[in-house]
Each structure stands twice: as structure tokens, then as C-alpha cells.
A and B are shown apart, each in its own frame.
Chain A
Amino acid sequence: MRLAPLLAAFALLGCGGADPSKEIETLQSWRATIDLATDAQLRGWVTPRYARQLLDEGRKAASQGDQLGASDKTRPAERDSLSAAGAELRAALGRLERAGR
């Protein structure tokens, strides 16, 4: 069947190499998500087990940013921005973790 390779190619189209500017946007988006979740957690709007899942997902996003920052292909200016966005996300993750205690 010709369909299977076509579908595989189609799926791969969405998996191109990571773009630092997109990655910075993703880190900032996760930081904002975690901030909103922290607020919701402090007000008792979401469950601690849901907050823990967001913590896990946020940590995954942060480590993906670290990997891209460590790549030789990333330019120094982009590396700094990635590092700053990653640090902000980690600070937000720390606040969410403390809110759950």
C-alpha cells in the first residue's frame, strides 16, 4: 500500500528540527500555565494530583529547553534567551510545588 509511507511522511512533516524562538515561546507559555495553576491551587480550585501532573509536564518542557540550549547549533544570543526563559519556568515550578505543600 502506498498509503502507509504517505501517512508516515505526513506525520514527520510536523516533527521538524526544534526552532529556538518557538522553544522560548513554549517555555514562556508553560511558565504562564504554571502561574495560573499556582493561583488555582492556592484557591483550592484544582486538585493537588492535577497540579503534580502539571509540574511533571512543566519539568519536561524545561528540560527540552535545556537540551536545545546545550546544542552546538543554537546561537549564543538564543542560548541566553532560552536560559532566561528556562530559569523563569523553574522559578514558577518552584512556586507551584510550594503551593501544594
Chain B
Amino acid sequence: MKKIAEVALGVITGIGGFLEVGSLATSAQGGAEFGFQLGWAVLLGSVSLMVLMEASGRLAAVSNRTLVDQLRERFGIRFFLAPLVVGLVVSLLVLSSEIGGVSLALQMATGVRFQLWALPIAFLAWLLLWRGTFSLVENGAAMLGLVSIVFAVGAAALHPRWTSVGAGLLPTRPAHDTARYWYLAVSILGASISPYLYMFYSSGAIEDGWTTEDLWVNRVTSALGNIFGGGLALMVLVVAALVFLPRHIHVDAYEQMGIILTPALGHQGFVFFLATLGITCFGTTLEIALAIAYLLAQGLGWQWSENMRPSQDSRFSVTYTAVILLCAIPILLGVNVLGLTNISMVLTAASLPVTVVPMVVLMNDRDVMGKSVNGLVANLALIALAVMSCAILLAAFPLQLLGGG
């Protein structure tokens, strides 16, 4: 019974925690410019994240070590510097975007300029991390994030042709602006498959004390959480396709998204959109700040756990304190949040090979995984992901040049 409750909570966490500033922006841009046609990118992103989360959770449960620990120990410190530096840079950019997302939600709600919200948000996030436990951060924020289900309600209220939505799940050639289409596809993938997500997940498995008995919990949680969570991102794309595309509205600023749900749900749509943007971005702010602290602490061999008192793992606590403050600065200075989000998502996608390719080796190492090494299907999926991540790395820079404007 306890395990079933754990699975249910894990799935809810997956659903409530899926949407954030990147997936909201990129799905809305995709729907507004290409209708349902980029649905396949959302689906591919969700399935990819499911594969990577399952693998990193299994790795942690079997070896009692996180993905970061294993990357450092198995490949050595010289190799590990690549995922460490790349992961750090990309996560800092995404963290800044998330703080920007919460700030903009508060600006739209109150009329107070978003720059002025950066420090209060950073302080509140820090306070929750300082005083809270891992389960509060993981489950509390995700529970509130269930407000994002409003996009499924909004999509249903707009009565889309579901066969057309389904057709979008298969890749097709765009009728116009090919570079922009692929740029948005890469952005959507970057928003879905952020390395911080599976690094955080693997650290969470250790925080929650997973063992081999939890492997099925890991499998069910990663599968259902991402299927339903990805479904919500797809609903954002559907709503944008039905509301913005016919009116030729492109999403050039987050402020435009405030009216995305009003044709479907009226005033409630406006209120729930702001709640979704604010709550999901705040929840992700907490998760990324922790993920960065995990990355550095595990990479440099420090004591770490969100369940310890800050005095017991002082360097870990100082790290999340410093990164939250650091990432609030660009928002305080008034950086263009949507531009920052888009660049962060493409860079995130481009950063995937440094963690995904080594995972193929780790998941096939019997010394690490014992009997739980990858089977044929898991290997095919992981190798396909590794190849795709390398292709994205090669394409990211030209696509930013050709389609990022």
C-alpha cells in the first residue's frame, strides 16, 4: 500500500512538475506558428525524458550512487569536467529564465514591473530550500503545479479535431519557414529533456533511499509522470494552435500569453494561466537550484542532502543560496525573459551528448548495474537518444542563426 501511494505521488509529481517556463513558451510558440504540426517534438521530448529518467533512477537504485557520482567515478575527473561545466552553465541560464517566469506572472497579476520581483522570489525560494525538506520541494511544488491541468480543460473546451492533433504526432514537412520549424522543434526538445531533470531525479532516488525493490516504482513513475506531463505540454500547443494560429499571433513576449486561455475559459482562463506560469516556474526554480547544488556537491565530493540541516552540509547550502542570487541578477537588470528562455532551451538541447552518451556506457556496465543492465529495448532507445543528441548539437548553432530571430 505504501509503495502504491509512493507511485501515485511520483506520477502526480511528474504531471505537476512537467510544465515550466521553457515548455510553456516553446509549446505555445510551436502551436502559434505551426499548429499541431510540432506535436511530434513534444511527444519525442516526453518519451526521451522518460527513457533518461528511468535509466538514471535505475542507476541510483541499483548502485546507490547518483548519475553525477557515476560519471565522475567511471570516467575520471578530466572527462567529468565537461558535464560539470556544461550542466552548470545551462542550468544557470534555465534557472534565470524560471525566476523570470515567476516575475512576469506576478507583473501580469499586479502591474508591478517584473524586475522588482526578482529578489523577493529569490529570497522566498532560498527560504524554502533552507528550511524545507526534499519531499517538500519535490512534492509540494508539484502538487500546486497540478493547476497546469487547466490547459487540458482549455483544450477540451476549444473542441479541437483530435484526429488532426493525432496527425501532428508524426513528423511532417512544414509548409513554410523550415528553419524556424526545426529551431522550434529543437527548443521544444530542449525544454523537455533538460539534464537537470534526470540529474535531479537520480539525486532524489538517493534522498528517498531507493533500492532494487523500488525499480518498479521508478519504471511506473517515470513512464506515467512523463506521459501525462508531456500530454499537458501537448495541450499548451493545441490551445496555442486554436487560439493564436488563426489570428496570426506569434508569441514574441510572455505578456501575449496572458490571453491564451480566455477564449476557452474566460476570466478563469486568465487567472489560471497566471497561476500556472507562476507556480510551475517557482517549483522549477526550487528544483534547478537544488539540482545545481547536487551537481557541484556530488562532483566535488561534498556532503549533500536537502534533508540535512544547512549546518551539516554547509557548502551544499551555500551553493544553492549563491546560485539563486546570481540567477536573479539578469532578471533584476531587465533581461528579455522570452529571449533568454529560447536561448536556454536550444543550449540545453545542444548540451545533451555530454550526459546521454556516457549513460549508454554506464547502463551497460555490469560492475555498476549488476543484473539490472540495459536490455535490448532500453539500449536501442538510449543509443537512438545519444545519436539524436549529437545531431541536435550539430544543428543547434545553425538553427539559432537561421530560425532564432
B397 in complex: contacting residue of A13, A29, A35, A47, CB < 8 Å: A13
| C-alpha spacing A22/B259, complex, angstroms | 23
Q: B260's closest neighbor in chain A, by CB? A: A36
Contacting pair A14 B256 (CB below 8 A):
no
Instruction: Tell me, yes or no, whether B252 is within 8 Å of chain A by CB.
Output: yes
Instruction: Tell me, yes or no, whether B255 is within 8 Å of chain A by CB.
Output: yes
Contacting pair B270 A40 (CB below 8 A):
yes
B108 in complex: contacting residue of A3, A43, A50, CB < 8 Å: A50
Contacting pair A45 B269 (CB below 8 A):
yes
Instruction: Tell me, yes or no, whether A5 is within 8 Å of chain B by CB.
Output: no
Instruction: Tell me, yes or no, whether B405 is within 8 Å of chain A by CB.
Output: yes
A50 in complex: contacting residue of B270, B343, B404, CB < 8 Å: B270
**8 A Cβ contacts from B260-274 to A:** 262-263, 266-267, 269-270
| C-alpha spacing A49/B107, complex, angstroms | 9
Contacting pair B249 A36 (CB below 8 A):
yes
Give 1 or 0 for each of A49-93: 1 = CB within 8 Å of chain B CB: 110111001000100000000000000000000000000000000
CB distance from A21 to the nearest CB of B (A): 11
A22 in complex: contacting residue of B247, B267, B400, B405, CB < 8 Å: B405
Please name all residues of chain B whose beta carbon is closer than 8 Å to the beta carbon of A32 when the two chains form the complex: 247-249
| C-alpha spacing A10/B397, complex, angstroms | 7
Given contacts A10-B397, A13-B401, A14-B404, are A54 and B249 in contact (CB under 8 A)?
Answer: no
Please name all residues of chain A whose beta carbon is closer than 8 Å to the beta carbon of B247 when the two chains form the complex: 32-33, 35-36
Instruction: Tell me, yes or no, whether B322 is within 8 Å of chain A by CB.
Output: no
A10 in complex: contacting residue of B111, B248, B253, B400, CB < 8 Å: B400
CB distance from B258 to the nearest CB of A (A): 6
Instruction: Tell me, yes or no, whether B339 is within 8 Å of chain A by CB.
Output: yes
A25 in complex: contacting residue of B107, B109, B250, B339, CB < 8 Å: B250
A13 in complex: contacting residue of B111, B267, B404, CB < 8 Å: B404
- In this complex, the interface size class of chain A, counting residues with CB under 8 Å from chain B, is 20 to 34
**8 A Cβ contacts from B108-155 to A:** 108-111
Please name all residues of chain A whose beta carbon is closer than 8 Å to the beta carbon of B109 when the two chains form the complex: 47, 50
Contacting pair B405 A19 (CB below 8 A):
yes
Chain B contact residues: helix, strand, loop or mixed: helix
| C-alpha spacing A3/B88, complex, angstroms | 12
Q: B270's closest neighbor in chain A, by CB? A: A46
Please name all residues of chain A whose beta carbon is closer than 8 Å to the beta carbon of B397 when the two chains form the complex: 10, 13
Please name all residues of chain B whose beta carbon is closer than 8 Å to the beta carbon of A47 when the two chains form the complex: 109, 270
CB distance from A78 to the nearest CB of B (A): 16
Please name all residues of chain B whose beta carbon is closer than 8 Å to the beta carbon of A52 when the two chains form the complex: 111
Please name all residues of chain B whose beta carbon is closer than 8 Å to the beta carbon of A53 when the two chains form the complex: 107-108, 111, 255
Most chain B CB within 10 A, of A7, A33, A43, A49, is at A33
Contacting pair A44 B267 (CB below 8 A):
yes
Contacting pair A45 B267 (CB below 8 A):
yes
Instruction: Tell me, yes or no, whether B394 is within 8 Å of chain A by CB.
Output: no
**8 A Cβ contacts from B59-116 to A:** 85, 89, 107-111
| C-alpha spacing A52/B256, complex, angstroms | 12
Instruction: Tell me, yes or no, whether B15 is within 8 Å of chain A by CB.
Output: no
B405 in complex: contacting residue of A14, A30, A54, CB < 8 Å: A14
Q: A52's closest neighbor in chain B, by CB? A: B111
Contacting pair B262 A26 (CB below 8 A):
no
Contacting pair B248 A49 (CB below 8 A):
no
Please name all residues of chain B whose beta carbon is closer than 8 Å to the beta carbon of A26 when the two chains form the complex: 250, 252
Q: B268's closest neighbor in chain A, by CB? A: A45
Contacting pair B85 A33 (CB below 8 A):
no
A40 in complex: contacting residue of B249, B259, B342, CB < 8 Å: B259
Q: List 15 A-B contacts (CB under 8 A).
A: A7-B89, A10-B397, A13-B404, A28-B248, A29-B248, A29-B249, A29-B250, A32-B248, A33-B247, A33-B256, A47-B270, A50-B109, A53-B108, A53-B111, A57-B253
Q: Nearest 6 A-B pairs (CB), nearest first?
A: A49-B111, A14-B404, A32-B247, A29-B250, A45-B262, A13-B401
Having A29-B250, A50-B258, one finds 11 other A-B pairs with CB under 8 Å, namely A3-B89, A10-B400, A13-B401, A14-B400, A29-B248, A29-B252, A32-B247, A33-B247, A36-B259, A53-B111, A57-B256
